[in-house]
Amino acid sequence: MNTVTERQLTDFVYAEARLLDEQRFDDWLQLFADDGYYWMPLTPGQTDPRLQTSLLYEDKLLLRVRTERLGGARTFSQQPRSRCHHLLQAPAVEDIDNAAGLYRMRTSFHYVETRMDTQTLFAGWATHQLRAEAGALRIVLKRVDLVNCDAAFGNINLFM
């Protein structure tokens, strides 16, 4: 993958959201680089997930544990399972560095998570930092900034 186009980058973001909406968590997890992270800051403008508390800051191992729990037959808190839907604005490509194989996009979204009679709406921005690896794009960092990140939340069961 020598030259990545804006179309390939935006298609990647749309495909990732679809995998989550379809609860294809194993396929979604494969989009992450081995050193990739999923980060959801707790405060607006947060700059460091290691020195400040976050809603989520998980490496690929922790993401795997979470996805396995979601698919587990004994996960009674997910009977019936939560479902979600992503509504995305067109991703904005912020940086393309084909020489280094590094890319960054930002996408505004509305996300609905539902389970039984409860439906919760979240809004925010997702920033994807991608790297080209062995002919494929991989997520190095997915940062999800919620508009109301500093609000009191119940359980967020799925991935935004």
Residue 14: inside a domain: yes
- The structural domain count of the chain equals 1
3-state SS, residue 110: strand
> Which CATH number is 96's domain given?
3.10.450.50
Residue 130: inside a domain: yes
Residue 135, Ramachandran bin (φ over 0: left; ψ between -120 and 50: alpha; else beta): left
pLDDT (tens digit per residue) in 88-144: 999 999 999 999 999 999 999 999 988 888 898 999 999 999 999 999 999 999 999
Residue 151: inside a domain: no
CA 124/CA 107 separation, integer angstroms: 8
Residue 87: inside a domain: yes
Residue 152: inside a domain: no
CA 32/CA 44 separation, integer angstroms: 25
Residue 52: inside a domain: yes
Q: Domain range spanning residue 110?
A: 6-146
pLDDT category at 69 given cuts 50, 70, 90 is: confident
Inform me whether the pLDDT recorded for 70 exceeds 90: no
Residue 156: inside a domain: no
Residue 90: inside a domain: yes
